[in-house]
Amino acid sequence: MDGKQLQQPYKDHIGDYKDWNQRTYAAEWLMYPENTGPYLSIDETLLCNGELYSIVINKAAKCRKSSLVAVVKGTQASSVIEVLRKIPIHIHGKVREVTLDLSVSMAAAF
């Protein structure tokens, strides 16, 4: 059976996609502020069709469940900063350190 035949019924009925609170902007960014910890890391990754994304993870979770803090389409520091500013201020206080590579696109963050 072709997996594409199952994709739409899952999305519409089983997966609760219609009720997902991040659905309206998920193509541009996703955020899970509850996963924020004292040590974060930002890196870029190439996903399907050559699209670059910036990934923010909680280093303490060691790439396991609850490690993803944010995914932002593109690699511009301004885009990542704009999304991270949406995290409530009381959660920002938890962050002690953010590590990232020194790519040209992220240099604006400094």
Q: Is 68 domain-assigned?
A: yes
How much is the average pLDDT of 79-84? Answer: 91
H helix or E strand, kind and range, residue 7: helix 4-9
Helix spans in 26-97 (H): 77-84, 89-92
Tell me which residue range forms the domain holding 81.
25-109
User: Which range has the top average pLDDT, 22-31, 73-82, 100-109?
Assistant: 73-82
Instruction: Say what the pLDDT of residue 55 is.
Output: 92
- Residue 90 is predicted with a pLDDT of 92
Total of domains in the chain: 1
Q: What is the pLDDT of residues 6-55, one digit of tens each?
A: 566 555 555 555 565 666 656 788 888 999 999 999 998 887 778 889 99
Instruction: Check whether 110 has a pLDDT greater than 80.
Output: no
Residue 6 included in any domain: no
Residue 73 lies in a domain: yes
Residue 62 within any structural domain of the chain: yes
| 85: number of Cβ within 10 Å | 9
The size of the chain, in residues, is: 110
Buried b (16+ CB within 10 A) or exposed e, 3-41: eeeeeeeeeeeeeeeeeeeeeeeeeebbbbeebbbeebb
When pLDDT is cut at 50, 70 and 90, the band that residue 59 belongs to is: very high
What pLDDT shows up at residue 36? 94
Q: What pLDDT is stored for residue 24 in this prediction?
A: 62
Kindly state whether residue 19 falls inside one of the protein's structural domains.
Answer: no
**Distance of alpha carbon 12 from alpha carbon 35, whole angstroms:** 27
Query: How confident is the model over 57-72, as a mean pLDDT?
Result: 88
At 110 the three-state DSSP class reads: coil
